[in-house]
Amino acid sequence: MNGAIPSSNLVTGKIRERAAHVLATSTRKLSPSPEHDRLTTIAAWSLAHCFAGLQLNGALPETAHEDPEALARNMIRLFFDDAL
């Protein structure tokens, strides 16, 4: 290779950048103060990814027939309801 990044890595990088931007700008609305923006972003990211991992791995069998998006939204409201 001549040092060029394969196009699939460029696409993946752009997708990650866009997702990170959406997450950071969205969670600023939930943050109690600018000093907590980064912590709020990490909390929201962790909450969503942990839930997704549990759901995808079948660790929540009692929710198997429920809409995962609705479950995630309801779960997030438990923590961030005042900000929504």
Sequence-separated (6 or more) residues with CB below 8 Å from residue 72:
48, 51, 52
pLDDT tens digit sequence for 56-70: 999 999 988 999 989
Chain centre distance of CA 41: 8
pTM of the model: 0.64
pLDDT tens digit sequence for 29-83: 888 889 999 998 888 889 888 999 999 999 999 988 999 989 988 888 887 776 5
Which comes out higher in pLDDT, residue 6 or 1? 6
Q: How buried is 72 (Cβ within 10 angstroms: 0-12 exposed, 13-18 middle, 19+ buried)?
A: middle
